[in-house]
């Protein structure tokens, strides 16, 4: 694995093929500032271009106070409109690059995920959350709107009417509500969300990595297409795997009644 060294992030190989990324500003509830935006963009870009032997990413927050409180509003105080736009352009690229990442990403939400923090979790493939976590998109209470995918990803997760209520009111909601509405895949007791996410990441990493990436691509892009076009897109993604070594290994291992040894080739 490449040596990812950052100031606002901690990156560790949690287990074979699984990278644990921790938002590491607990003193400000892991709010992201310009530097964190730059470092996250650098990380997602490197993982997109050269993932090495990594097959899954788990994203969480440092400490026990929050997953991510969103953008650092203290840093934003006094920013000119030009500086605000420049910073937001960085954040846009950071979030979009995460959304396009070929590797699956699991958000392990260990505490409150507000504003951009919830948008960050929504950019991941799915979310596990501690029962004590809370969620909100608070932007309209600050004179702005969600601008890192929130108005698009939230309706796709919970439905348009529920998303309108969440965004228009800016009210926080519980992890239990998030689970009931389909935003969160699994609820965990405090302290158990990260182990649960890592266990699922290990299950993902045990599968053929090229197949997982093609499945993610088919789901992400096919979902934006007319259904017959999406069927064809799926078949094209499928056909990319027929000649791979992993496909041969998967069939051979099944017939030999053993666990496959996938190489990502």
Residue 47 lies in a domain: yes
Whether residues 234 and 113 fall in one domain: no
Task: For residues 235 and 221, give the distance between their C-alpha atoms in angstroms, rounded to a whole number.
Answer: 13
Whether residues 58 and 152 fall in one domain: yes
pLDDT of 191 reads 92
What are 128's strand-pairing partners? 108, 186
Query: Which residue range(s) make up the domain with 225?
Result: 209-255
pTM above 0.85, yes or no: yes
Catalytic residue numbers, as ranges? 119, 139
> pLDDT at residue 1 above 70?
no
Whether residues 225 and 132 fall in one domain: no
Q: Which CATH number is 187's domain given?
A: 3.90.226.10
Residue 56 is classified by DSSP as E
Q: How do 9-15 and 18-23 pair as beta strands?
A: antiparallel
Query: Pick from 9, 134, 133, 28: which is nearest to 71 by CA?
Result: 28
Q: Which CATH number is 229's domain given?
A: 1.10.12.10
Within a 13 Å sphere around the CA of 180, how many CA atoms are in the beta-carbon half? 7
Residue 172 lies in a domain: yes
Query: Pick from 106, 108, 96, 1: which is nearest to 40 by CA?
Result: 96
**137-169 confidence digits (pLDDT tens):** 999 999 999 999 999 999 999 999 999 999 999
The full length of the chain comes to: 265
């Amino acid at each position: 694995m490449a040596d990812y060294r950052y100031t606002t992030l901690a990156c560790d190989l949690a287990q074979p093929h699984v990278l644990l990324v921790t938002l590491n500003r607990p003193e400000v509830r892991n709010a992201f500032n310009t530097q964190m935006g730059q470092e996250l963009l650098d990380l997602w870009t490197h993982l997109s271009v050269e993932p090495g032997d990594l097959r899954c990413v788990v994203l969480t927050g440092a400490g026990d106070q929050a997953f991510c409180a969103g953008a650092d509003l203290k840093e934003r105080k006094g920013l000119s409109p030009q500086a605000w736009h420049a910073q937001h352009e960085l954040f846009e690229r950071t979030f979009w690059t995460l959304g396009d990442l070929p590797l699956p990403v699991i958000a392990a939400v260990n505490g409150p995920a507000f504003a951009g923090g919830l948008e960050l979790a929504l950019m991941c493939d799915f979310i596990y959350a501690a029962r004590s976590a809370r969620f909100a998109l608070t932007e309209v209470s600050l004179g702005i709107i969600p601008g890192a995918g929130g108005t698009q990803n939230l309706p796709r997760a919970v439905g348009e009417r529920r998303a309108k209520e969440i965004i228009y009111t800016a009210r926080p909601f519980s992890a239990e509500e998030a689970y009931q509405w389909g935003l969160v895949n699994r609820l965990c007791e405090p302290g158990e969300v990260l182990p649960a996410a890592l266990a699922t990441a290990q299950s993902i990493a045990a599968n053929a990595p090229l197949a997982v990436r093609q499945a993610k691509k088919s789901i992400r892009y096919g979902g934006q297409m007319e259904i017959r076009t999406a069927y064809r897109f799926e078949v094209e993604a499928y056909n990319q795997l027929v000649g791979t070594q992993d496909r041969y290994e998967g069939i051979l291992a099944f017939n030999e009644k053993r666990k496959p040894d996938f190489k990502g080739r």
